[in-house]
Amino acid sequence: MEEFDYELPRSAIAQSPAPERDASRLLVLYRESGEVEEAIFRDLPKFLKEGDVLALNDTKVIKARLFGKKESGGKCEVFLLKDLGEGKWEALLRPSRRLKPGSEIIVGEVKLRVLERKENGTKVIAFPEGSDPHKIMERYGQLPLPPYIREKPEDPERYQTVFSRTPGSTAASTAALHFTERLIQELKEKGVRIVYFTLHMGLGSFRPIRSENVEDHQLPPEFYVMPEETAQEINLAKKERRRVIACGTGAVRTIEGCANEEGLVRSGYGWTDLFITPGYRFKVIDGMITNFHLPRSSHLVLVCAFAGREKVLEAYREALKRGFRFLSFGDAMLII
């Protein structure tokens, strides 16, 4: 993992989004040469061609952080991770040790019950029978910002994309936060074909890789939906030798995970835990839009697998030198 480490000054971590979404800076990395070019995100149409397919994740971040009290009156926190059905959710609890199976958590007027502890340290909790967990989240919850962001944004919608419509994520598709409706329209007018899919992202977005060897790391499974029309549009582009550009590392994993060995993308839904590491043979993706990622993270490993470790880390060094802002609310990178 030390091969995917770099020094990230705290001052380079963006604490708030750019005043306008598409006013973020854009570092363009050319895969073949390793050369970089600086632009503004709203310049994106200059770098995409007529006929390119741009894949965007329409997931919506849910208010997955709930603050409540234990039966004893002490404060506690519930971070919902995964809907297990029938009112049960996998969650991270704090303080975890004191919230044992059988205990209750009071959130507003609602009582949650802790059912069991899983091997990975998470807990299974149950909402009251007959209740709607999403309505309870909407009423009492907060958006689960990454731990390195210390201030809440003035407008919570800035942690949602302008095209978010399918609730389920506990982490935003940060590469897509830079898009505006105006920019999407401009890309369409140029002849870029925009398609949507859904990937509900979770804890894997925040956790660094702790194993010494990259291959020993496992990503938590994440739920995806690949619509038939999106799969058809991507397959037609590949057949006609047009580029497929994925927005976000989650988009890369979803599309590649839905492809067979011949690169044919299949529609459907399910769970994916595809972890892309250097040496992986990309079957579909020709370019990607991404933000600047944490050292030793699965996102950085994927970007290095796509564009080459040395080229990517050199681009990161250049970005730091030029004052680019890193991580979720930071600037963007286009790799073509």
* Amino acid identity, position 252: V
Contact 306, 255 (CB under 8 A): no
- pLDDT tens sequence for the chain (336 residues): 889 999 999 999 999 999 999 999 999 999 999 999 999 999 999 999 999 999 999 999 999 999 999 888 889 999 998 889 899 999 999 887 788 899 999 999 999 999 999 887 889 999 999 999 999 999 999 998 888 888 888 888 999 999 999 999 998 999 999 999 999 999 999 999 999 999 999 876 666 677 778 777 878 889 999 999 999 999 999 999 999 999 999 999 999 999 999 999 999 999 999 999 999 999 999 999 999 999 999 999 999 999 999 999 999 999 999 999 999 999 999 999
| One domain, residues 35 and 16 | yes
| One domain, residues 19 and 89 | no
| One domain, residues 41 and 110 | no
| One domain, residues 130 and 232 | no
How many angstroms separate the CA atoms of 143 and 156, rounded? Answer: 8
- Residues ≥6 apart with Cβ < 8 Å to 265: 226, 230, 231, 234, 235, 255, 258, 259, 284
| One domain, residues 253 and 316 | yes
Q: Is residue 29 part of a domain?
A: yes
pTM: 0.91
| One domain, residues 26 and 100 | no
Tokens of residue 68, six digits: 């409540």
| One domain, residues 209 and 312 | yes
- Residues ≥6 apart with Cβ < 8 Å to 189: none
Prior bond of 95 cis (ω within 30°): yes
How many domains does the chain contain in total?
2
Which structural domain, as residue segments, surrounds residue 14?
A: 2-61+154-335
Q: Is residue 149 part of a domain?
A: no
**By C-alpha distance, which of 147, 200, 155, 145 is closest to 21?**
155
**By C-alpha distance, which of 304, 302, 325 is closest to 313?**
304
Give the model's pLDDT for residue 205: 63
Give the model's pLDDT for residue 233: 98
How many angstroms separate the CA atoms of 60 and 199, rounded? Answer: 9
The length of the chain in residues reads: 336
Give the model's pLDDT for residue 264: 97
* Domain boundary pick from 95, 111, 140: 140
| One domain, residues 86 and 197 | no
Contact 288, 252 (CB under 8 A): yes
Beta-bridged to residue 82, according to DSSP, are 90
How many angstroms separate the CA atoms of 244 and 33, rounded? Answer: 20
Q: Is residue 145 part of a domain?
A: no
Domain of 272, CATH number, reads 3.40.1780.10
| One domain, residues 159 and 107 | no
Q: Is residue 294 part of a domain?
A: yes
Q: Is residue 146 part of a domain?
A: no
| One domain, residues 189 and 305 | yes
